[in-house]
Amino acid sequence: MAQHGNGNVSVVLWREFVLEGFRGGVETQALLFAVFLALYMVTIMGNLTMITVITLDARLHSPMYFFLKNLSFLDLCYSSVFAPEALTNFLSSSKVISFGGCATQLFFFSFLGTTEAFLLAVMAYDRFMAICNPLHYPVTMSPTRCAGLVLASYCGGCLNSIIQTSLTFQLPFCSSNHINHFFCDVQPLLQLACADTALNKLVMFVICGCIAVSATVVVLVSYGYITVTVLKMHSGSRGQKVFSTCGSHLTAVTLFYGTLIVIYAQPGGVESTEQGKFLSIFYTLVIPMLNPLIYSLRNKDVKVALRRLGQRRAAL
């Protein structure tokens, strides 16, 4: 810590933070540890299974499953940004995180979350091209184009993360070093700043709002065209299969975008209260856990691939 005098005012610049996490005694912390551990383990197993199945089964080597494999990779990394630190803090009395560790956590939180928001929009565009323009689909969604779309999603996530992290950590933190959250997020960090945070809040609102609106527009327009196309189909079974595949993606989009819009993309959104913490559990652990289940339970190709993989392992 460094102290600077300014007349009669003494300012303490903190170089480490304390993650307060959730209220409650030893029993509450033990219960939360068990819940977090269960969610995290299911998330790891589910997403690793999706990545393995899509990689090993040649029948799933298509653009849709290429994007789904990247989504599983993002969910795996995303939950790993928070869960290990949170699990450690549930069993620790200090709950200290360094200044650099906090900045790193915020960077990867913003980076991976934004990348996933863009990737979900890309996946909607992929379904639009596959269903509405099937003759041009192999050319439009070539391996090079798919890799470029994924790379663009990562670049967009990285750019947003650099802006958010740099703007946040250039502020002086002097009012307290206790973060009222279980991880380093922008809003609780801004509450600790002893400088004007109006610009930070405006930038966060504008950027998050633009990301949410643009991604939502892509999804809505894509599914609007898909709906019209499906209604024109003469084959009922084909239309049912399309709606089943798209329904999985639409469920994932609604859960992810809906939660983030409630927390970040509205003025005076949910701040670092107990309600905000529990909403954060939903998009940091619950959604990454649910995505593999959503896509596997409602996808016949994935279920068949899982069965083949199980039979292959049983035969060894």
Distance of CA 203 to the CA centre of its chain: 20
Whether residue 63 contacts residue 131, with contact meaning beta carbons closer than 8 Å, is answered with no
- pLDDT confidence of 13, banded at 50, 70, 90? low
Please choose, from the candidates 203, 201, 206, 173, the residue with its C-alpha nearest in 3D space to the C-alpha of residue 187: 201
Q: What is the per-residue pLDDT for 48?
A: 95
What's the confidence (pLDDT) of residue 240?
Answer: 66
Angle at 179 between CA 175 and CA 185, to 5 degrees: 115
Q: How many CB atoms lie within 10 A of CB 239?
A: 16
Residues with Cβ within 8 Å of residue 221, at least 6 apart in sequence: 128
**What would the two tokens of residue 264 be?**
């970040």
Q: What is the mean pLDDT of residues 211-220?
A: 90
Count CB atoms within 10 A of the CB of residue 80: 16
Q: What is the pTM of this model?
A: 0.88
Q: Is the pLDDT of residue 5 over 50?
A: no
Q: What pLDDT is attached to residue 236?
A: 58
* Structure tokens given for 228: 């019209």
Give the full edge-to-edge strand order of the sheet including 178-179: 96-98, 16-19, 178-179
CB within 8 Å of 314: residues ≥ 6 apart = none
Question: What single-letter DSSP state applies at residue 285?
Answer: I
- pLDDT of res. 7: 47
- Coil/strand/helix, residue 101: helix
The span from the CA of 304 to the CA of 286, in Å, is 25
Question: 245-279, pLDDT tens digit by residue?
Answer: 677 888 888 888 887 777 765 555 555 466 778 88
- Say how far apart CA 259 and CA 277 lie, in whole Å: 12
Quote the CA–CA distance of 244 and 122 in Å, as a whole number.
Answer: 18
Q: What is the pLDDT of residue 257?
A: 83
Short-list 106, 104, 114, CA closest to 152: 114
pLDDT confidence bin for 14, thresholds 50/70/90 = low
Return the beta strands (E) in the chain as ranges: 2-6, 9-13, 16-19, 96-98, 178-179
Residue 98 falls in which region: left (phi positive, over 0), alpha (psi -120 to 50) or beta: beta
* pLDDT digits 0-9 by tens, 87-101: 999 988 888 999 999
Query: Pairing mode, if any, of strands 16-19 and 96-98?
Result: antiparallel
